[in-house]
């Protein structure tokens, strides 16, 4: 009798353990996107190391790229020209990082006007070839912010006319022939470490206060800089 009870208890415990594992996989799959790190090729000129990082931001990542087709997202361009939904980038320490962001999304606006001023850069942020000192709080689409490095970059939006035009991008990846803004900036990495970066614009449509879903998910609107 005792043996039978022990077997039943063991069976129930096994079922609970399996259920817990499955629930864990479901939650991780929901909250975490692509976690494959991307390492841009480093270049050394006159003893100085630099890398180029090319990104795009989109209003909807699309059904072939993610389990959440309507989620806003960042993508990175690989050397072969293909776009990949990845937000973990491996960068060399004490190097210049030249970033280009092609933004295909419209304005979301800021909760705090302070976030409209670029910070922590080498030189100025440049939008469509023009240097920018600050953005009005109702303009930014997204931000590229690395708090531990003191970096904050507001991302200029596509105009309403561009959003409604035949050239508006529906799903990622978006071609450069579609309506977009081009944002460029440079920052310098410091010592090795793992640094969280994130968008601080409440751009998660359908979530309370705009800060749920993709805003808190690695692989969508935040990730890590692995400085090595």
Where residue 93 sits, what CATH number does that domain have?
2.60.40.420
Please report whether residue 143 resides in a domain: yes
135 located within any domain: yes
Residue with tokens 């022990």: 6
Band of residue 17 on the pLDDT scale cut at 50, 70, 90: very low
Q: How far apart (Å, rounded) are the C-alpha atoms in residues 185 and 52?
A: 10
What is the rounded average pLDDT for all residues in the chain?
Answer: 86
Q: Which domain holds residue 222?
A: 32-227
Residue 14 covered by a domain: no
Please state the pTM of the whole predicted model. Answer: 0.83
Whether residue 146 lies inside any domain: the answer is yes
In tens, the pLDDT along 114-131 reads: 999 999 999 999 999 999
pLDDT digits (tens, 9 = 90+) for 158-176: 987 677 788 899 899 999 9
Residue 66 has what pLDDT? 65
Instruction: Note whether residue 11 is domain-resident.
Output: no
148 band by pLDDT with thresholds 50, 70 and 90: very high
Asked whether the predicted pLDDT for residue 14 surpasses 50, the reply is no
Higher pLDDT, 2 or 89: 89
Domain presence at residue 1: no
> Total structural domains in the chain?
1
Burial of 91 (0-12, 13-18, 19+ CB in 10 A): buried
pLDDT over 50 (residue 226): yes
Mapping DSSP to helix (H, G, I), strand (E, B) and coil, where does residue 135 land? coil
In a domain, 89, yes or no: yes
């Amino acid at each position: 009798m005792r043996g039978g009870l022990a077997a039943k208890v063991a069976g129930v415990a096994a079922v609970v353990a399996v259920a817990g594992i499955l629930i864990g996989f479901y939650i991780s799959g929901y909250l975490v996107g692509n976690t494959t790190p991307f390492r841009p090729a480093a270049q050394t000129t006159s003893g100085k190391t630099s890398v180029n990082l090319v990104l795009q931001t989109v209003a909807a990542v699309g059904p072939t790229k993610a389990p959440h087709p309507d989620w806003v997202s960042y993508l990175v361009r690989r050397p072969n020209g293909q776009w990949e939904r990845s937000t973990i980038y491996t960068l060399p320490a004490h190097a210049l990082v030249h970033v280009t962001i092609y933004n295909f999304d419209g304005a979301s606006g800021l909760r705090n006007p302070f976030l409209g001023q670029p910070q922590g850069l080498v030189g100025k942020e440049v939008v469509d070839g023009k240097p920018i000192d600050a953005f009005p709080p109702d303009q930014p689409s997204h931000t590229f912010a690395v708090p531990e490095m003191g970096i904050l970059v507001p991302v200029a939006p596509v105009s309403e006319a561009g959003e409604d035009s035949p050239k508006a991008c529906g799903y990622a990846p978006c071609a450069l022939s579609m309506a977009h803004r081009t944002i460029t900036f440079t920052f310098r990495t410091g010592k090795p470490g793992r640094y969280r970066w994130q968008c601080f614009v409440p751009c998660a449509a359908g979530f309370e206060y705009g800060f749920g879903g993709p805003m808190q998910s690695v692989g969508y609107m935040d990730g890590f800089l692995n400085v090595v």
